[in-house]
Amino acid sequence: MLEIKNLQVKLEEEDKQIIKGLDLTVETGKVHAIMGPNGSGKSTLSYVLSGKDGYEVTGGEALLDGEDILDMEPEERAAAGLFLAFQYPVEIPGVGNMTFLRTAVNAQRKARGEEEMSSTEFLKVVRERAKTLKIDADMLKRPVNVGFSGGEKKRNEILQMAMLEPKMCILDETDSGLDVDAMKLVAEGVNALRAEGRSFLVITHYQRLLDHIKPDVVHILANGRIVKTGGPELALEVEKNGYADILAEVA
């Protein structure tokens, strides 16, 4: 599904290398987790993959189903099936959540040459999917993320994911700022979307999200590289001993 080969990224503004030759393959239908200490390049990786400005790819490639996405516009990557759940979802005053969702769904359909969703059909689907995420009618009507609590924002991200039905989902510290109940709700939303043809890359600091979203593979990212890869037990090891032991071991 997603193949990252020897990826190298630096900040555009300053001459600072963040990702230093990263290799990662996420197979179709699998859940991979990336853990790593602060400043290891986790968020940079998610932004580079989704096409945010301000980063310069100095080497390597990132293939989504064999196609290099790094030269694509963010909206083309989205239409190709990539989705990033933001660590800090953006507030957009004046744009209704529902308008936003429908515009996004139909823009992607159009880009893929599919028929647009009628408003009745859209309404039906969005209500149904919102309900399972405990997103009420009021949240759908309000401007995108404006006045939403931390938990509401993250649930709104998952609702977007549910509506857009991407094949490759990247979750950037989706657990940050969430209490246990909110985290469970978000995790349930994600688990409901797990499917044979859909892969996940879950980026997190802590193991606790992985209690709820069970990964198939866990990677440790440090200093811009994947330094260790293992099964779910690797996350438990981090939880128990911190990163220091692992980093010392691979150094």
Partner 1 sequence: MALPQTKLDATDARLSALSLPAGPAWLVEARETALARVQAMGLPSRRDEYWKYTRPDTLVQADPVPAALFDGGEAPVFDGIDALQIVFVDGVFDADASDDLTGEGLEITRLADAPDIHWAKDLYGQLETNGQKPVERPLAALNSAFATDGVLIRVTAPVSRPVNLSYVHRNETSDAILHHVVKLEEGAALTLLENGPAAARFNKVMEVEVADNASFNHVRAQGRDHERRAATHIFTRLGTESAFKSFTLTANGVMTRNECVIELTGDDAIAHVAGACMGDGKDFHHDDTVFITHDALRCESRQVFKKVLRNGATGVFQGKILVKEGAQKTDGYQISQSMLLDDDSQFLAKPELEIYADDVACSHGSTTGAIDETALFYLKSRGVPTDQATDLLVLAFLAEAVEEIEAEELRDEITARLQGWLERRRA
Residues that bind partner 1 (CB under 8 A): 50-53, 73-75, 77-79, 84, 86, 89-95, 99-100, 103-105, 107-108, 111, 143, 160, 164
Could you tell me the smallest distance in angstroms from the CB atom of residue 185 to partner 1?
21
Q: Give the whole-angstrom CA distance, residue 70 versus residue 82.
A: 12
Q: How many C-beta atoms surround the C-beta of residue 143 within 10 A?
A: 16
Could you tell me the smallest distance in angstroms from the CB atom of residue 160 to partner 1?
6
CB nearer to partner 1: give 105 or 217.
105
CB nearer to partner 1: give 122 or 206.
122
Q: Give the whole-angstrom CA distance, residue 76 versus residue 82.
A: 9
Rg, the chain, Cα only? 18
Q: Give the whole-angstrom CA distance, residue 41 versus residue 221.
A: 7
Residue 162: partners with Cβ closer than 8 Å, 6 or more residues away: 129, 133, 189, 192, 193
Reading the block at residue 241, the tokens are 């001993």
Reading the block at residue 164, the tokens are 């857009």
Could you tell me the smallest distance in angstroms from the CB atom of residue 78 to partner 1?
4
CB nearer to partner 1: give 83 or 243.
83
Q: Give the whole-angstrom CA distance, residue 50 versus residue 78.
A: 8
Q: Whose structure tokens read 């699998």?
A: 30
Could you tell me the smallest distance in angstroms from the CB atom of residue 80 to partner 1?
9
- Which candidate, 240, 218, 242, places its Cα nearest to that of 35? 218
CB nearer to partner 1: give 70 or 247.
70
Could you tell me the smallest distance in angstroms from the CB atom of residue 247 to partner 1?
32
CB nearer to partner 1: give 72 or 123.
72
Could you tell me the smallest distance in angstroms from the CB atom of residue 26 to partner 1?
19
Q: How many C-beta atoms surround the C-beta of residue 102 within 10 A?
A: 18
Could you tell me the smallest distance in angstroms from the CB atom of residue 229 to partner 1?
27
- Which candidate, 229, 218, 236, places its Cα nearest to that of 30? 218
CB nearer to partner 1: give 54 or 197.
54
Q: Give the whole-angstrom CA distance, residue 167 versus residue 145.
A: 24
